[in-house]
């Protein structure tokens, strides 16, 4: 598979009631195709959050947006653009960060979570100097991470991190 330049075209999801910000690296090909975050059918982000909040798994873009906003969750990505091979975060080159101030100045964000090691590393390198706010690294919910993180381990990591923010 060849590397391509990807421009982040999904708008951030947030409102004034957002209290936690989840940041991935950049939308996967499936998320770009579907027009929303964590849209790959095997990505476990939405099932994990549904379990954390004790609700049904949101299925549609509208349900996912409503779910996030109703629970004080903001969604975006660390990168505005990069060169990447498919959805392989390890292949990222030429990263350009998003300006997170758009969210951080309009919402009282209590915690920033990165979903995966690459998102955490990119946040630390490119965003932390501007935000001056540490991010908490959570495991990736990607289907590529299934052999390392079972659903139960993901649930435990996300549940304890979200509970620590006080929004549950």
The set of catalytic residues is 43
φ, ψ dihedrals at 106, nearest 5°:
-110, -5
Name residues whose C-beta falls within 8 Å of residue 59's C-beta, 6 or more positions apart in sequence.
none
Q: DSSP readout, 44-102? A: -HHHHHHHHHT-PPP-SHHHHHHHHHHTTEEEEESEEEEEEETTEEEEEEEEEE--THH
Distance CA 37, CA 10 (A): 8
Residue 82 · residue 94 · CB < 8 Å: yes
């Amino acid at each position: 598979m060849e590397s391509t330049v990807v421009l982040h075209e999904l708008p951030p999801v947030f409102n004034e009631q957002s209290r936690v910000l989840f940041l991935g690296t950049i939308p996967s090909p499936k998320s770009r195709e579907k027009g929303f975050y964590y849209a790959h059918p095997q990505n476990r982000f939405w099932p994990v959050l549904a379990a954390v909040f004790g609700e049904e798994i949101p299925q549609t873009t509208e349900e996912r947006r409503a779910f996030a906003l109703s629970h004080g969750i903001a969604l975006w990505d660390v990168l505005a653009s990069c060169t990447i091979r498919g959805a392989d975060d390890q292949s990222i080159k030429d990263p350009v960060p998003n300006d997170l101030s758009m969210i951080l100045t309009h919402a009282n964000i209590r915690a920033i979570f990165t979903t995966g090691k690459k998102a955490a590393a990119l946040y630390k390198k490119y965003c932390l100097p501007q935000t001056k706010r540490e991010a908490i690294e959570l495991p990736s919910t990607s289907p590529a991470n299934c052999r390392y993180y079972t659903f139960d381990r993901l649930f435990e990591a996300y549940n304890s991190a979200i509970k620590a923010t006080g929004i549950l």
